[in-house]
Chains A and B, each alone.
Chain A
Amino acid sequence: MNVLVCISNVPDTTSKINFKEENTSFETQGVQFIINPNDEFGLTRAVWLQQKEAAKVTVITVGDASCEPILRKCLAIGADQAVRIDLQPQDGFEVAAQLTAFCQTNAYDLIITGRESIDYNGGMVGGMLATNLNMPYLANCIQLEIEGVDLQLQREIDGGKESLQANLPIVIGAQKGLVEEKDLIIPNMRGIMQARQKSLEVIAPIETEAATTVEVFEKPPEKGPVKLVDANDIDGLIDLLEKEAKVL
């Protein structure tokens, strides 16, 4: 079985978000980049498939050379090989177009994307890629069991979950729950050493155009200080919520 895990390079969840060039681009200075957490849940699930079903796991990203450290980390976690499509994409539509072209010449049984990236929160790459490839897509995937070509899946929905069945090939949008936080693989020295020997292929992009562009960024307005209410004055709090905030 061939598994492709699509990886996005995103700012660490604790990053302070700032912009430069008159708020037209994200300030990367001093920001630590990580594997998009949703993608990392998917990668861990893929590595389990490699261990149990001898699946071959390829990780791919669409980005410039600054994305290579996280691809090396994916290899250290256990992916067999990595591919970087050498393009700084403008939006998820363009990422999906690049990945579509790649998957049309390299067949995969299972393609895993994250539910969304935590930077632009587009949440579109998986659904668009699957639709372009004429494959089914399962968003918010919290369970994936494979028996031959038969799949048992679960999707998190508002207020519950949905169970599904499908056959390979499929695209899934991974999120927490597909594997648990405690199951995430921390690369050990052996993994890091092995990663240096594994293939990281850089390929040229096809010609694509983005469907959208960000014109300008804005930070949320500064918030006023908290109004503190005495712990014995519960009526005071209710009064504020009712009359001032008007939310009760």
Chain B
Amino acid sequence: MAVVVYLESQEGQIKKAGLEVASYARAIADAQGLNVVGVGFNLENPEQLNSFGVDKLYLINTQGDQFFDITRYGESIAEIVTKENAKLCVVSSSANGRYLGPILAAKINAAYLSNVVSLPSQYEPLQVKRSCFTNKAFNITQSHKEITVLSLSSNSFGLKEKPGTTEVIEGSYSSATTSLKVTTVDKTSDKVTIADADIVVSGGRGLKGPEHWHLIEDLADVLGAATACSKPVSDMGWRPHSEHVGQTGKPVASNLYIAIGVSGAIQHLAGINSSKVKVVINSDPEAPFFKAADYGIVGDAFEVVPKLTEKLKARKV
């Protein structure tokens, strides 16, 4: 029996979130005496999986289909779950992982559990801890189905190397089709995304206007961080929606979250609750963010942030 994992990739390279679900599945497999079976599409470096304890890889060639086709990907993975008689399937909490999870679950009549934050607390029946109420709480959820699809919250388990040998076999690319077809993908090139980032630098209304965003971008650059913003900032059109962090925006589960000129509305704080270390820089000592942060500076962002960027730059050289 097997735990099946979807190894999400980009331009042939397995994403960090893909390796994290592999690490997570390996831990389950070790506890339960199972095999880890990966499913990857167009992977260029499948040998990388030797280090992450994947026993078998179904490597699927999409024959020039360069986009994420939900119908064909979902059906291809569903066929492998069935063939391997897997009782568990793990996807990441990336946009594609969360898109795939419920569709896959419905195809194989499985239970689906999103936002999983730790290893199962028991296996029969399966119980896992999940975040809910947009990170304002957690719950332990039990699956009542024979098969369960889990979506693992990013950065909740981390990468755990485990040397082994991965048997690579060719997987078949489903020809299932619907009317839905991707025509183009528009990616902000070379930028770290909020979902992948270890560090996120976020700006709020305290920055007084989009023309000051170089403060956020410069700091993010030196840290290799993604940029984000508060809801008012995206509502006013200073920054795109895709950067809005909070209850109706994106959740952030980075290792370090630096909030600059963000007051800390309850909805924003909910969105970043699963970030491990939070730093706030704000001129208002009464800003609610100070209650949620681990470290804080009461000060003018326009003075503090450039100094911080300079010091970090100097430290790097």
Contacts and interface: CB of A to CB of B under 8 A. Distances in A.
A226 B280 contact: yes
Interface in A11-61: 11, 13-14, 17, 19, 37-38
Interface residues of A, number: 82
A166 B178 contact: yes
B119 to A, nearest CB: 16
Contacts of A165: 179-181, 183
Contact of A131 (B103, B142, B143, B144): B103
A119 B134 CA distance: 7
Q: Chain A: interface secondary structure? A: mixed
Contacts of B96: 157-158
Given A38-B248, A209-B144, A156 B242 contact: yes
A118 B134 contact: yes
A19 B178 CA distance: 43
Interface stretch (A77-85, A185-193, A196-204, A214-222): A214-222
Contact of B143 (A13, A137, A177, A211): A211
B256 A245 contact: yes
Interface string B140-156: 11111100000000000
Interface stretch (B20-28, B204-212, B307-315): B307-315
Sort chain B's interface into a size bin: 35 or more
Interface in A105-152: 116, 118-128, 130-132, 135-140, 142
A201 to B, nearest CB: 27
A231 B241 contact: no
Contacts of B188: 159-160
B75 to A, nearest CB: 10
Contacts of A234: 304, 307-308, 311
Contacts of B110: 211
A175 B246 CA distance: 13
A215 B277 contact: no
Contacts of A70: none
Contact of B112 (A122, A156, A215): A122
A164 interface: yes
B9 interface: no
Contacts of A228: 290, 295-298
Nearest to B111: A211
A104 interface: no
A64 interface: no
Most buried by A among B103, B266, B312: B103
A39 to B, nearest CB: 11
Contact of B101 (A124, A153, A176, A216): A124
A163 B182 contact: yes
B141 A212 contact: yes
Contacts of B142: 212-215
Given A159-B193, A237-B279, A166 B181 contact: yes
Interface in B210-251: 223, 235, 241-242, 244, 247-249
Given A138-B180, A167-B179, 4 more contacts: A158-B194, A212-B141, A220-B273, A238-B311
Interface of B: 67-68, 70-71, 74, 94-96, 98-99, 101-103, 105-107, 110-115, 127, 129, 131-145, 178-188, 191-196, 198-199, 223, 235, 241-242, 244, 247-249, 255-256, 266-267, 270, 273, 276-277, 279-280, 290-300, 303-304, 307-308, 311-312, 315
19 contacts: A13-B266, A92-B112, A122-B114, A125-B102, A127-B101, A128-B105, A135-B178, A140-B99, A159-B242, A212-B141, A213-B142, A218-B129, A226-B294, A226-B296, A227-B294, A237-B308, A238-B315, A247-B198, A248-B223
